[in-house]
Amino acid sequence: MVIDANVYWFPEAMFQDDALRARFFMDVPRGYGTNGKMVSRNGKKQIVIERPVGCPGVDYVEGDYTLEGMLAAMDEAGVDKAVMKVPCVHEWMSLDMCRYFNDGMADFARRSGGRLTALAVIPPWGHEAQLAELDRCYQQLGMRGVQLCAHYGKYYLDDAVFAALFERLNTYGMNAYVHHTPVPVEYASIADYTNLRRSLGRCMDQLTAVGRELFSGMFERYPRVRLIHSMLGGGFFTFSEMLMPHGPAAPDASGRFTATPESMRRHLANNLFFEMSHAQPWGKVLLETAVQVLGADHIIYGSSSPVKAEWMRGGPDFVRTLAVSEADKELMLYGNAKRLYQL
């Protein structure tokens, strides 16, 4: 069995329905350096989100998000089930637009014969109407997870502004997938070059988010919430030992380092998980290292389909080439996603 825990969903109607697209573009926070537009490339319509303005960070291509196309791609890749997400734009989507997206994903899930499942998307600010939409997704639409962004504006998820949302998630025991945004909060030094902005920027965003979650102690307040970070947490495994406090919990004589290593390691074990967001770009050595450092029970396969077709087509077989046990491969390709998303 293979579960692809990172398949993107976007409404195809957005390319044809001028009124719907206008509603969507009205949510774009242009006053904060973000722009949205529709262009035509290679005979297809494409919705492009830029941040900063003039720097494309997210793009959706007409025809990539049909139910038939998604299921056919899964068949070709040998993927049995997939988890649908909405990448990046949910950082600023209105409650009205979130409802539209949730209904669309729920419709795909119903019509997929059990092969697709969806994660709820809501504004995270804890207003009653927003929490009511989370309740609707959980109770009526059957969604067992929610999708969040690594940060909203300048606020990462450890900020108290998200307390009401996390209290509700903790009550439900509802896990959250944490997707990167187009760029981290501070991005001036990487904005000029596309690969730095789009690849390194996403990793910087994730790594910052994971570190803040660990150092904040937020899981003491929300012990039932598990956060599943994209991009392997920005390569968190390469920094995890260095970031972890070593030695006694009390500050050293110089006062330079203060933290509680036991609680941080407990939360890393119990509350934080990492999705590949496409296997091949990491390469065998780094993926095998991630398994050694984080444990296969904390790593989840995902392809970011339809960004690159080969990431889905070749992803499961690439994971099977890793020099890890067959049990570890099964956890990454199937078992972890089944458990965390209650499939």
Mean pLDDT for the chain overall: 95
Q: How far, in Å, are 8, 78, 149, 282, 305 from residue 317 at the CA level?
A: 21, 9, 29, 14, 15
174: number of Cβ within 10 Å: 22
* Exposure b/e, 75-104, CB count within 10 A at least 16 = b: eebebbbbbbbbbbbbbbbeeebbbbbbeb
Q: How far, in Å, are 262, 269, 276 from residue 94 at the CA level?
A: 40, 34, 28
* 343 residues of the chain, pLDDT tens digit each: 999 999 999 999 999 999 999 999 999 999 999 999 999 999 999 999 999 999 999 999 999 999 999 999 999 999 999 999 998 999 999 999 999 999 999 999 999 999 999 999 999 999 999 999 999 999 999 999 999 999 999 999 999 999 999 999 999 999 999 999 999 999 999 999 999 999 999 999 999 999 999 999 999 999 999 999 999 999 999 999 888 877 665 555 566 666 677 888 999 999 999 999 999 999 999 999 999 999 999 999 999 999 999 999 999 999 999 999 999 999 999 999 999 999 9
> Which residues contact residue 120 at a Cβ distance below 8 angstroms, ignoring those fewer than 6 apart?
102, 133, 134, 137, 138, 141, 143, 145, 146, 147
DSSP one-letter code for 53: T
DSSP one-letter code for 259: -
Closest CA to 141 of 174, 112, 107, 115: 107
Separation between Cα atoms, residue 55 and residue 50, nearest integer Å: 5
Q: Do 57 and 202 contact (CB within 8 A), yes or no? A: no
